[in-house]
Every structure is written in structure tokens, then in C-alpha cells.
A and B are shown apart, each in its own frame.
Chain A
């Protein structure tokens, strides 16, 4: 892949059990296609799984769809980059409450659950969440290093 070249893909998936695997495979295929390492691809797949589960379990959306967009690029000769947007048209959520729960400072959720955001942040290089009463979009970025020939 030459620097600046981009590959993009969009998917709309139904909110059915295990659909997150289809999303993870799509992200993995794009990562492999642009030359990311197996471990980077694997980390991205786990993050995508968690984002899709959150959308499926907590969005309460009417259309029961997850909208995914993937963009793979090589910003320079050494760097590989995959951006993922995972969107639902649900009711949104209180981001601050979710962050408090992650830190174990809230009593509103069981501690064994609610790890999704932390897993996403640990496996990806950037995670941004925008949420409102019209839905939620999680944007995640994974950088990789181009393999030396």
C-alpha cells in the first residue's frame, strides 16, 4: 500500500447475537490488507467486538442496526492506520456515568460488567465517543508499523 492510499468499507449489520464477530472480521480483513501485524489486528478485533456489544445491549434503538465504517490508510511510509466508526441510532447514554462506573466509583452497575470501554481504550490508540439522544458513535483508531521488507 502506498502512502496516502486509502481503503474504505461500510457495513450495516442487524443487532442479532454474535453479529460483533462479523464486524471484527471486517476490521481484521482491512487491517491485514494494509499490512498490520497479527497482534494489532487481533487487538482491533477485540475492541470492535466490545463496541458492537455495547451498541446491541445498551442503545435501545428502534432500527436495530449497527452502522460501521472502516478506513485503512498509510499516512507515511512507516505508519499504518485503521479508523473505525461504530454508530447506532439509539437513545445515547451518560458518558460521565459510564466513566465513573469504569473506575468503580458508581453503584449503578455490577462491577463484573461494564468493562467494554476500558477494553476498547486498552486495545486501541484512540477512542472517542459522541453520544446524544439521537444515537452514539464510537470512533477508534489503531496505528501499526509497516513491516520492513
Chain B
């Protein structure tokens, strides 16, 4: 369907910002995971997921995001999220994702707090 996830990556030193656009379902979640793991293997230790262009998620997609957080934590890295809609943020809280990853209102505050290079 037309809500298929599109992903853009902005590499910033040992960090990266992933911009999502569209539906984070099982396929979208796997796409994010694959790109995240590639970045992790390439030496990235801090990831920020900017969900400004994502308006809908499902529990399967979020469960994959939780797996990414676990993998980042195993490797001593950090993962944050920014620009969530109120309903997506509420869904993250219900599923416990907010306990393990930082959530920021905007990219600027996320970049500052996570210590990412500015674009």
C-alpha cells in the first residue's frame, strides 16, 4: 500500500539520524533494524530515529524497535527517538519502549542530548 516505509540515513561521525516516512509495521520495522545493524557494524554507537513523517505504527513494528534498542544496549550504544505524534508516543509508553530509550520533542534537543554532530 502507499504507506510503505521509506528510510533516509544521515551519518554523523560515530552517530546517525534515521528519518522514517510511512507505516512502521513488520516490514518497516525490519527495514529500520537492517539499516541500524549495518550502521552498528560500521561503528555507529548513537542512533536517533526521527519519526516526523510517520503517522502510524503497529505493535509488531514497535516490537522490532525494542529489539534494536536491546542490541544497541548490548553493544554499549544509545538510541533515541524524536518528533513522535502524541499517539505514537503513548503507544511507545504502553509497550515499555520509553523505559529504555530517550524520547525527544524535536531533533535539535535530541542531537544536543545524545551528543550527535549537527548536520
Q: How many Å from the CB of A31 to the closest CB on chain B?
A: 13
B34 within 8 A of A: no
B60 within 8 A of A: yes
- List residues 24-68 of chain B with CB under 8 A from any CB of chain A: 25, 27, 55-60, 62-63, 66-67
Looking at chain B's contact residues, is the secondary structure mostly helix, strand, loop, or mixed?
Answer: helix
B76 within 8 A of A: no
Specify which of A22, A39, A112, A119 is in contact with B94 (CB 8 Å cutoff).
Answer: A119
Interface size on B, residues (CB 8 A): 22
Q: How far is the CA of A42 from the CA of B56 in the complex (A)?
A: 8
Looking at chain A's contact residues, is the secondary structure mostly helix, strand, loop, or mixed?
Answer: helix
Please tell me if the beta carbons of B67 and A49 are within 8 angstroms of each other in the complex. Answer: no
B90 within 8 A of A: yes
Known: A119-B94, A122-B94. A42 touches B85 (CB 8 A): yes
Q: How far is the CA of A116 from the CA of B58 in the complex (A)?
A: 8
Specify which of A21, A43, A45 is in contact with B1 (CB 8 Å cutoff).
Answer: A21
**Using a CB–CB distance below 8 Å, which chain B residues touch chain A?**
1, 3, 23, 25, 27, 55-60, 62-63, 66-67, 85-87, 90-91, 94-95
Known pairs A112-B67, A115-B63 / 11 extra A-B pairs, C-beta < 8 Å: A18-B3, A42-B85, A43-B90, A46-B57, A49-B58, A50-B58, A53-B59, A112-B66, A113-B59, A119-B94, A122-B91
**Using a CB–CB distance below 8 Å, which chain A residues touch chain B?**
17-18, 20-22, 24, 39, 42-43, 45-46, 49-50, 53, 112-113, 115-116, 118-119, 122-123
